[in-house]
Homo-oligomer: A and B are copies of this chain.
Amino acid sequence: MTVLRADAQRNLSLILEAAADAYAELGPDATIDEIARRAGVGHGTVCRRFPTKDALRAAVISLRIEELLTHVRELLERPDAGVALEEFVWAAAESCRRDRALFEGIEQCEGFTEVADAKKELHDTVGKLIRRAHREGAIRRGLDARDIGALVGAAIQASLNAERGDSWHRYVQVVVDGLRP
């Protein structure tokens, strides 16, 4: 697989988009058939490109993590780490919210190096931001990048069970405020 043929490349994009949509709507248990249907390709095409269901999930997840990584690198340029960290939390929340099932059950995908590496890189980069925020006294001690990621993901997940559509905003605010010293 040196380079993909044009139709294969097109289908790959369609599958990734369809998978992201399906996960967002149906959770991580969205079936391969459903994803194939949304992408407008055959069941077999999905399975050939991604040897297992988890490999597909891993591909979608690592894409999203890369996006967050790009964002947090920009935020590192900001003078005020506390503000930057808060902005990152909101961005991460937005990402989780868009993809819902992005981080629920992410453990199953940690065996894939692409996900594990991307996650580690993200944690390291966010870690820098956190250390600077610590020095500024903007957030409490005892929480690392993994903790913050988990809390944000949890707040979003909690809002999925809520009736009111704006719950996620209030929940994330509780977490943001709870991060302070």
Query: CB within 8 Å of B: which residues of A?
Result: 106-107, 142-143, 146-147, 150-151, 153-155, 157-159, 161-163, 167, 170-171, 173-180
Residues of B within 8 A of A157 (CB): 154, 157
Residues of B within 8 A of A179 (CB): 174, 178
Contact B143 A174 (CB under 8 A): yes
Contact A170 B143 (CB under 8 A): yes
Q: Out of B107, B151, B161, B163, which one reaches A171, CB within 8 Å?
A: B151
Other than the given A146-B163, A147-B170, A175-B175, 12 more pairs (CB < 8 A) read A107-B161, A142-B170, A143-B170, A147-B167, A147-B171, A150-B159, A150-B161, A153-B158, A157-B157, A174-B179, A177-B180, A178-B179
Contact B162 A158 (CB under 8 A): no
Residues of B within 8 A of A158 (CB): 150-151, 153-154
Residues of B within 8 A of A161 (CB): 106-107, 150
User: What's the minimum C-beta distance from A147 to chain B, rounded to whole angstroms?
Assistant: 7
Contact A146 B162 (CB under 8 A): yes
Residues of B within 8 A of A147 (CB): 162, 167, 170-171
User: What's the minimum C-beta distance from A145 to chain B, rounded to whole angstroms?
Assistant: 12
